[in-house]
């Protein structure tokens, strides 16, 4: 919500990563990774396409910009009220009505705060929609869990997001996703849906809970690929489907070179970490 509000308050302007860190995470020490992940999550909730954005656009090497139109929700009603008041005064010039001290008049401070109020209204609308959707999803999960409980040791790997500046690493991200599925499927007792099932959700705006319900898994692994100079960074996180909490996360930095070797190396590291994380959690 703070991220959305920050961008909405400066709609049309480029907001740098440093500004977002200072305003959204003012009391927490975090890395730019938090900004990237939060923007990706916000886009997913808004149904926004980073390649053809209608809400949040990435400005390479500078930051992000809210491209959606942001306006005060009460602007029209206030304008209409003012117009009606003006016409009433014009028609009653000969017999002016007494001025009531109870009539609210928008102050300059109120008018100056309207863009901020618009951002709050937009945030609240999104939160209400998110909570309603979450409630429906929880009800669906509750009704279906009694019929087909999910195996505790099961994980679905979602297609990794290409968050590079030029968004030209999609092939590497897809290869990394397949390598992760291959490695994790070799863990004894761990159930992993095949690539065809995981890639079905690529580009679709579906919540983690609904994906886990569809694939019948207890965990979902998602992540992203970024690039800085001659280095690649792969971020991965493990999410518990029934409560949406991140139970494990890690980033892996590797120099550009043999893509297959990098994929195999990182997938092996993730496999070891997830194996230890999932096996350490008792079954329900």
Tokens 């019929």 found at: 147
pTM for this structure?
0.50
Q: Which CATH class is domain 155-279?
A: alpha beta
| Dist. CA 217–CA 156, nearest whole Å | 6
| Bridge partners, residue 246, by sequence | 239
Residue percentage of the chain with pLDDT more than 70 = 71
In the predicted model, what is the mean pLDDT of the chain? 76
| Dist. CA 167–CA 7, nearest whole Å | 22
The predicted-structure confidence for 162-187, as pLDDT tens digits, reads as follows 888 878 888 888 998 998 999 888 88
> How many other CB atoms are there within 10 angstroms of residue 173's CB atom?
21
Element (H, E) at 109: helix 108-112
Q: For the chain, give every domain's residue range.
A: 2-66, 155-279
Q: Residue 134: what pLDDT? A: 52
Over residues 157-161, the mean pLDDT reads: 92
Over residues 235-244, the mean pLDDT reads: 89
Tokens 């120099």 found at: 255
- Region for residue 244 given its phi and psi (left: phi exceeds 0; alpha: psi -120 to 50; beta: otherwise): left
| pLDDT above 90 (res 273) | no
| pLDDT above 90 (res 192) | yes
**CATH numeric code, 2-66:** 1.10.10.10
| pLDDT above 70 (res 131) | no
């Amino acid at each position: 919500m703070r991220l959305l509000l920050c961008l909405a308050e400066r709609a049309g302007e480029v907001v740098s990563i440093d500004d977002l860190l200072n305003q959204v995470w003012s009391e927490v020490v975090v890395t730019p990774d938090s900004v990237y992940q939060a923007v990706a999550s916000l886009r997913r909730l808004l149904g926004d396409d980073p390649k053809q954005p209608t809400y949040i656009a990435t400005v390479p090497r500078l930051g992000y910009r809210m491209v959606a139109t942001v306006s005060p929700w009460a602007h029209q009603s206030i304008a209409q009220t003012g117009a009606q008041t003006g016409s009433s005064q014009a028609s009653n010039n000969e017999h002016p009505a007494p001025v009531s001290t109870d009539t609210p008049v928008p102050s300059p401070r109120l008018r100056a705060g309207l863009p901020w109020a618009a951002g709050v209204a937009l945030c609240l609308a999104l939160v209400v929609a998110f909570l309603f959707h979450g409630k429906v999803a929880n009800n669906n999960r509750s009704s279906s869990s009694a019929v087909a409980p999910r195996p505790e040791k099961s994980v679905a790997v979602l297609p990794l997001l290409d968050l590079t500046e030029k968004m030209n690493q999609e092939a590497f991200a897809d290869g990394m996703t397949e390598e992760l599925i291959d490695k994790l499927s070799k863990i004894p007792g761990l159930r992993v849906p095949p690539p065809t099932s995981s890639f079905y959700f690529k580009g679709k705006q579906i919540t983690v809970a609904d994906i886990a319900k569809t694939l019948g898994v207890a965990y979902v692994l998602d992540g992203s690929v970024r690039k800085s100079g001659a280095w690649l960074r792969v971020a991965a996180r493990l999410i518990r489907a029934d409560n949406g909490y991140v139970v494990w996360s890690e980033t892996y930095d590797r120099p550009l070179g043999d893509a297959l070797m990098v994929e195999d190396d990182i997938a092996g590291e993730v496999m070891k970490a997830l194996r230890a994380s999932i096996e350490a959690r008792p079954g329900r």
